[in-house]
Structure formats: structure tokens, C-alpha cells
Structure 1
Amino acid sequence: MNNFLNDYKNKLCSLINNIDNNILISIINKIDETQNKSKLYVIGNGGSAATASHMANDLGVGLKIRGIRNLNIESLSDNSSVCTCIANDIGYENIFYTQLKDKLKKDDVIIAISCSGNSENIIKAVKYAKTIGATIIGATGFDGGKLKELSDINFHVDAPKGEYGIVEDVHMILDHIIYSYYISLKPETKSKYTME
């Protein structure tokens, strides 16, 4: 057991240490461009849907209540009624595309999270977004799949195929790096809102 635990920790540390700071800077700069101007949409399935939701929480409400940033961000995985309606009526591959269709604008940004980079609903939404001219930030793993090729900015976790847990770990760390960077810009991080 100790061998497994040490191996997992070592692999995770190695992947974190290999994160390209230039990619992080590009992502943060692109997110900054959306403030008071355009919208961020985050999409993902399964564990990546949980990361998308967490990211929308941190970068939306978390930064807003601290008076740091006011980002218009939404996780399209969060409304189970909408997702299951679309999946049931016209197919699971349409759950993100349908929510974006005729709403997405050129200055908007899609943060697409997919370990394989080949999830059909992610790829369909991203291909649509590219026809609009929106920016794609892809978070991928393994060999990157189609999403890596389609991304304008790609945050890639070069883990062996099938190691979903460790890829999802690093994708979650991406969220916390971005969030913590913004928090560092303002020393006093207490909420500007008070409980009544």
C-alpha cells in the first residue's frame, strides 16, 4: 500500500511541477478580458462537471463577495433539469451545444474540461463556439484528444491514458491556482457582504 501511495503522490507532484506558467498566465489574462464585457461558460462531464461547478463558484461568487472580480461565469453542467431534458429529447451530445446556441457571443470564453478530450458533447459545443469566434480554453489529459487541437489555450495534463483521478486532481488545482492568484491581489480577503 505504501508503494502505491508514494507513487500516486510522486506522480501528482511531478505533474504539478511541470505546469507551464505561460499557459497559466494566458488563461488568467483571457479570463481578465471578460470582466464587465463578456461571459465565461464552463463545461464538463462527470468529475469534470464537478470541477466546472467548483470553478464557477470560486471565480464567480468567491471573487465577487470579496470585491476582487465580478466575472459573469456559468457552469452549463449545473442545471440537471435542462441537461436531462436536452439529453432525453434530442441526445446527450447536445446538452452544451443547445444551451450555447444563439446565445454565445464572439467575445465569450468557453472553458472546456475533458480528460480524454474526446467527449462528444464537449467537442460539439467547442466546434460551434469556434464558428462564432469565441475563445476556447481546454483542460485535457492523456493525449489531449480533439479538444487539445481545437483549443486556443490548452492546459494539458500529460498523464497515462485511463488515469482519470490524477488528471482531475490537476484540473481542480488549475481552478485553485487561478482563484488564489486573484485572492493574492487583495490582502484583505474577508467578504464585503455581512450576514444579517
Structure 2
Amino acid sequence: MNSSFYLKYFNNIKSIIDDFDLKKIGKFKKLIISTAKQNKKILIFGNGGSAATASHFAVDMTKNAGIRCLTLNEYDLITCFANDFGYEKWVEKSIEYYADKGDLVIFLSCSGNSMNIVNGCKYSIKKGLKVVTLTGIQKNNKVNKLKSNLNFWVNSKNYNIIEISHFIILLSLIDDIILSKKTK
């Protein structure tokens, strides 16, 4: 076993967590709560591992926190929309068909340059939806350049570390919301 690898790896994650902007996470929570209070929903999108994170978040937010949250990463929808509109447009088209005024849309993209996510984000902003993005790799990525309500950028070039960081932010929000409801 290469203990030095793991020590360095875990210290890297710890350093990233230590750099989380807690005030910004608090603003994210307020966006989620205000969305729920307006009887609106959350849509969350990602590719690959980020799609798995999106699914996990959507299920836990709905079941455990009691706030409606959907991810539209069903293969039949993706392949239909990708076939009919192009892969780079499937997220945008999903939002066009499923989002309502006042909804919150969350986008996960390690690179911030996946065109399906970029186009979905642009469309959501244009339609006046609330938008939160979580990215990594380069700070000046395409998603970060857009005018979202909030952006969380992870200072790493390692996809797994970026995805872990996004996962921690998202699931900590769920736990905070659950705890807030219990203490009322």
C-alpha cells in the first residue's frame, strides 16, 4: 500500500473543503428553501459521475428533505433528445420541456466546458430560472463565465476530487435542511 499517496490525496481533499465558502453555501441553502416555499422544484444535471451525484442528490432532497428535485438523466430521454436535437442540446431541451418559472436548476460539470451543460445553463439564465453551477479544472471555464446566481469552483484538475467536493457540498446542504426542519 502506498500510504504517502493516500495521505497526500486526503490532505488535498481536506484543503479543498477548508476553502469552501460557507457564506456562499448558506446562500445556496436559501435558494433551495425559497424555491420550495414557492412550491417550485429543483432540476439537477451532470454528465458521467456528476450524473450519478445528481441522481443521489435528487433522491435524498426529495425523500429525506421533502423538497421536490428531479434529475432527467434517463437513458431514453437523453437518447431521444440527443438524437432529435443533438447531444449538446439535450439538457437545454429537457429544461425547455420540464422547467417552470421559479424553478432552481443546478449544473454539475468538472470541466465547466461540456456543451450540453453550457447550453442548458445559458438557456436557464435566458429564461430567468434560478441557476447554481458547480465546476472545477480551470476557473475561467465556459460555465463560470455565465451569470448564474451562484457558482462553486473547485480548485483541482482531478475529476474524482472535484466530484467528491461537489458531492460534499450538495449532501451537506441536504443534511442542513433536514436538521433545520427538525429544530423548528
The answer to whether TM tops 0.5 is yes
Q: Distance in 2 between matches of 1:52 and 1:184?
A: 21
Q: Distance in 2 between matches of 1:168 and 1:89?
A: 30
Tell me the CA shift for residue 187 of structure 1.
4.4
Identity %: 34
Alpha-carbon deviations, 1:107-140, whole Å to 9, x = none?
1111000010111000111111111111110001
Provide the residue aligned with 2:27 in structure 1. Answer: 26
Higher mean alpha-carbon deviation, 95-104 vs 29-38, is at 95-104
Q: Distance in 2 between matches of 1:87 and 1:102?
A: 14
The letter for the 1-side match of 2:42 is L
- Partner secondary structure for residue 111 of structure 1: strand
Provide the residue aligned with 2:58 in structure 1. Answer: 56
Q: Distance in 2 between matches of 1:110 and 1:185?
A: 22
Alpha-carbon deviations, 1:42-94, whole Å to 9, x = none?
00000000011011011111222xxxxxx2211122x1111111123332112
Q: In angstroms, what is the RMSD of aligned CA positions?
A: 1.5
> Within 5 Å, which residues of 2 pair with 1:145-156?
145-150=141-146, 151-156=148-153
Which segments of structure 1 move beyond 4 Å, counting only runs of 4 or more?
A: none
Aligned counterpart for 1:101 among listed residues 96, 110, 119: 96
Provide the residue aligned with 2:154 in structure 1. Answer: 157
CA contact (8 A) 1:43 1:113 kept: yes
Provide the residue aligned with 2:111 in structure 1. Answer: 116
Q: Distance in 1 between matches of 2:83 and 2:104?
A: 27
Q: Which runs of 5+ in 2 are unaligned?
A: none
Provide the residue aligned with 1:67 in structure 2. Answer: none
Aligned length: 179
Q: Distance in 1 between matches of 2:33 and 2:61?
A: 11
TM-score (norm 1): 0.86
Q: Distance in 2 between matches of 1:90 and 1:183?
A: 39
Tell me the CA shift for residue 170 of structure 1.
0.6
Tell me the CA shift for residue 173 of structure 1.
0.4
Report the structure number with the largest CA radius of gyration: 1
Provide the residue aligned with 2:71 in structure 1. Answer: 75
Q: Distance in 1 between matches of 2:101 and 2:13?
A: 36
